[in-house]
Amino acid sequence: MPLDRDAAAHATRALPDIPRDDDGPVFREPWEAHAFAMALALHARGVFTWPEWAAALAEEIRRAQSAGDADLGTTYYQHWLATLETLVGRKEIASAAALDRYRRAWDRAADRTPHGRPITLRTEDFQD
């Protein structure tokens, strides 16, 4: 998923806690960039405003901290992904069952994929 630099710049201004350097947001893993890009795409489609996103993300971070997250910065995009899932469910874009189905499919695909190779979904990954 290509990253729209203008949208990324707008998001980093609207959400000042995004990990970034002088060039913009920084990601430790490819999935973090994908989660970021998905949020940009949903925002661009009017699914949520940045203030709405920021409130939901802050709520997710508070929940995680109360459950023991040490908040060392290494879990930021895990909170980002959880916030995506929450808002997608809250906005009825996808049901919890659909999200769970895809999560299980990705887990199956990741389990069979050698380290360093791209993960691809197959029809059988969705078989329960």
Q: Give the H/E segment covering residue 18.
A: none
Positive/negative CA dihedral, 82, 42, 31, 95? positive
**Nearest Cα to Cα of residue 86 among 119, 121, 47:** 47
61 confidence band (pLDDT: 50, 70, 90): very high
pTM equals 0.73
One domain, residues 115 and 77:
no
Q: Give the H/E segment covering residue 21.
A: strand 20-21
How many H-runs (helices) and E-runs (strands) does the chain carry?
Answer: 5, 2
One domain, residues 79 and 115:
no
16 confidence band (pLDDT: 50, 70, 90): low
* Chain center to CA of 63: 17
The percentage of residues in the chain with a pLDDT greater than 70, rounded to a whole number, is: 90
Whether 128 maps to a domain, the answer reads no
Domain encompassing residue 36:
1-91
pLDDT at residue 22 in the model: 80
One domain, residues 83 and 99:
no
One domain, residues 76 and 103:
no
